[in-house]
Amino acid sequence: MTIKPLADRVVIKMVEAEETTKSGIILTGSAKEKPEVAEVIAVGPGGMVDGKEVKMLVKVGDKVLTSKYAGTEVKVDGTQYTIVRQSDILAIVE
Amino acid sequence: MTIKPLADRVVIKMVEAEETTKSGIILTGSAKEKPEVAEVIAVGPGGMVDGKEVKMLVKVGDKVLTSKYAGTEVKVDGTQYTIVRQSDILAIVE
Amino acid sequence: MTIKPLADRVVIKMVEAEETTKSGIILTGSAKEKPEVAEVIAVGPGGMVDGKEVKMLVKVGDKVLTSKYAGTEVKVDGTQYTIVRQSDILAIVE
Amino acid sequence: MTIKPLADRVVIKMVEAEETTKSGIILTGSAKEKPEVAEVIAVGPGGMVDGKEVKMLVKVGDKVLTSKYAGTEVKVDGTQYTIVRQSDILAIVE
Amino acid sequence: MTIKPLADRVVIKMVEAEETTKSGIILTGSAKEKPEVAEVIAVGPGGMVDGKEVKMLVKVGDKVLTSKYAGTEVKVDGTQYTIVRQSDILAIVE
Amino acid sequence: MTIKPLADRVVIKMVEAEETTKSGIILTGSAKEKPEVAEVIAVGPGGMVDGKEVKMLVKVGDKVLTSKYAGTEVKVDGTQYTIVRQSDILAIVE
Amino acid sequence: MTIKPLADRVVIKMVEAEETTKSGIILTGSAKEKPEVAEVIAVGPGGMVDGKEVKMLVKVGDKVLTSKYAGTEVKVDGTQYTIVRQSDILAIVE
């Protein structure tokens, strides 16, 4: 079973804390907005979103930084994902 | 009796919990926004909505992920539906 | 005495509860937004509204679903009406 | 002394309660927004308002329905008027 | 010393209460917004304001109705003025 | 060390109270917004700001009226400055 | 490991307090918004952001003034960074 995001939405999967430590990325928490590193699982087609042309900039497999409270959490076939808008993705880490 | 949604609105019907489990989709709840899997029952024609051209991307029979609090609930001929804007639909699941 | 709505406004008259039951439509209430079935009594001419072209999609006699708290209530010649914007109308029921 | 409204503004004068009853119009009150019937006394020239072309749709002498809390009250030469934007006028009654 | 307002701003000077009474204008107070009659002292050049072309409609010497809480008060050479945007001016009185 | 403001931002330096009195400008305080006279120290290049062309209207050395709570305060080489957007500047005083 | 910001985002690194004092820049704190001096570490490509063309004005190595609460904090390989939008950068200091 697959999730096909609409418009400018992106399905991401949080990278586990252990993995995070191994890769050397440690995210600081703040009261208002907690950033998270995640892997891109599926990318919407972009196109006209709210009357504006959106070009997708991330691709499947990218590691991205986003905000913890951005998006909506879903669990499909036992795995938890988050669906965010591309504009909620801050940066790609390499 | 049928519901014909206007503009960019979509009539959806929540998939029952049992059915959800069988299909392997389990949705996690959050305090702010609870996602739901639903089946598309009727789709508005799209067109100019709030001064912007909207093209409909979902079709009748699609299984979609949306937010629990999005839209307005109605009960027609004993069945409960929700009317959402297409922009409240996050993804199609297949 | 007649009410001629301006711009994208629509005059609707709530369908009585008895009539609602007979037609098989039962509307569920929610804390935030209660939908209502209503009959369209008068339709504004549309045209430029807030700098955007609005085409009227409903016509006199249509049964429509809208939100209870949308619009403004008026009583003319002993009958109570509600004046809503067309964008507050969710769907037409047939 | 005359009031010449600017842009899309309209000067209206509330129709007295007695007159309202005689004409058969009774307005229901709601906690959020109380409609009122009023007579149009002066109409602004329209034109570009907030970057959008506004065409005036009401004329002096029209009886209109508006919201009680819309606009600003002024008293000129002992008569009380309200200055509203045309978009605060819901309908013309005839 | 003179005040030269920028963009669509207008410098106004409240007309004294005595003068107001003499001219027959009495302004009613409301809890939310108190209108005031004022004289225009200086007018900005208009032009592009927030991406929109603004044409100035008032001129020095005009008596105008505005809202009490609109704008910012300044005292120059012992006289108190208010600087408002032209869109805060409701009407010209003659 | 110099501050080069970006886009439509302007660096201003509050004129001291003594100087203010000498020049005859006394600013009244209000609970919501306290205006201030200030001298322009540096002016951004203008250009496209938030999708709109902004032309800079103030120049270094201008005495301007602005709001006390507008902008962000910085201290460089022992002198305190405020960085505001040009749209926060109400008028030039001469 | 590097951070590649998307769209109009900029990765900055706060300049240490000691360094700040040495360079003669002392930032005053306010209850609402505390400015900070920071060094630009990485700059997004700009381009169409929310339907508007954004041209990047800062470059790697620039010392910039921004607001303390703007952006999202991340820690990569033991160093703490902040990711802001370019529009949150007030000025470049030289």
Q: Which of D90, D92, D93, D94 to mutate to test the interface with C (most CBs of C within 10 A)?
A: D90
Residue to test with chain B: of C86, C88, C90, C92, most B Cβ within 10 A? C90
Share of chain C above pLDDT 70, in %: 77
Task: Select from B60, B63, B67 the least CA-distant residue to B87.
Answer: B67
Q: Please report the pLDDT score of residue E15 as a whole number.
A: 84
Chain G residues inside the 8 Å CB shell of A58: 6
Q: How far apart are CA D87 and CA E7, in angstroms?
A: 26
In contact, A55 and A33? CB cutoff 8 Å:
no
Separation in Å, CA of G76 to nearest CA in chain A? 4
Interface B:C, Cβ pairs < 8 A = 73
- Per-residue pLDDT tens digits for C78-88: 888 999 999 99
Q: Are F52 and F81 in contact (CB under 8 A)?
A: no
Distance from the Cα of E32 to chain F's closest Cα (Å) equals 15
DSSP element (H, E) containing F19: helix F17-22
Which segments of chain G does DSSP mark as H helices, in order? 17-22
- For chains F and G, count residue pairs whose Cβ atoms are closer than 8 Å: 74
In this structure, are residues C28 and C45 in contact, taking their beta carbons and an 8 Å threshold? no
Residue-wise pLDDT for B34-92, tens only, equals 456 899 999 999 999 988 999 999 999 999 998 767 888 888 878 889 999 999 999 99
D72 SS3 class: strand
Q: If you measure CA to CA, which chain A residue comes closest to B53? A: A51
Considering Cα of A8, then A9, then A10, then A16, what sign does the dihedral take?
positive
List the single residue in G6, G11, G78 with the smallest CB-CB distance to A89.
G6
* A37-91 tens-digit pLDDT: 899 999 999 999 988 999 999 999 999 998 767 888 888 878 889 999 999 999 9
Contact A73 B26 (CB under 8 A): no
Minimal C-alpha gap between F92 and chain E (Å): 5
Assess whether pLDDT exceeds 60 at residue E65.
yes
Q: CA angle, corner G48, sides to G46 and G50, nearest 5?
A: 115
What integer pLDDT is reported at residue A21 of this predicted model?
47
Per-residue confidence (pLDDT) for residue B61, from 0 to 100 = 97
Q: Sort out which chain B residues have CB atoms less than 8 A from C57's CB and list them.
A: 6-7
Are E and A touching by the rule of 3+ CB pairs within 8 Å?
Answer: no
Res F58 pLDDT > 50: yes
Q: Which residue has the higher pLDDT, F4 or C77?
A: F4
Contact D51 E51 (CB under 8 A): yes
pLDDT in tens, G37-81: 899 999 999 999 988 999 999 999 999 998 767 888 888 878 889
User: Could you tell me which chains touch chain E, where touching means 3 or more CB pairs under 8 A?
Assistant: D, F
> How close is the nearest chain A Cα to the Cα of B1, in Å?
30
In the prediction, which pLDDT does C79 show? 87
Average predicted confidence (pLDDT) for chain F: 82
Secondary structure of D2-67 as H, E, C letters: CEEECCCEEEEEECCHHHHHHCCEECCCCCCCCEEEEEEEEECCCEEECCEEECCCCCCCCEEEEE
G85 vs chain F: nearest CA distance in angstroms? 12
Residue of G nearest to F73 (CA): G28
> Tell me, what's the pLDDT at C74?
86
Q: What is the pLDDT of residue D30?
A: 42
Residues in chain G, total: 94
| pLDDT given at position E44 | 97
Contact present, E74 and F65 (Cβ < 8 Å): yes
Per-residue pLDDT at F21 exceeds 50: no
Closest-CA residue to F27 (of F41, F17, F39): F17
Burial group, residue A58, by CB count within 10 angstroms (0-12, 13-18, 19+): middle
Domains with residue ranges and CATH for chain G: 9-93 (2.30.33.40)
Q: Given a cut of 90, is residue C42 above it in pLDDT?
A: yes
Residue in B33, B55, B93 closest to A1 by CB:
B93
Q: Which chains touch D (3 or more CB pairs under 8 A)?
A: C, E
pLDDT in tens, D12-41: 998 864 445 455 655 544 433 445 689 999
Residue G88 has a CB neighbour count (10 Å cut-off) of: 18
- Say how far apart CA G71 and CA A65 lie, in whole Å: 12
Under the banding of pLDDT at 50, 70 and 90, the label for residue F33 is very low
pLDDT digits (tens, 9 = 90+) for D34-78: 456 899 999 999 999 988 999 999 999 999 998 767 888 888 878
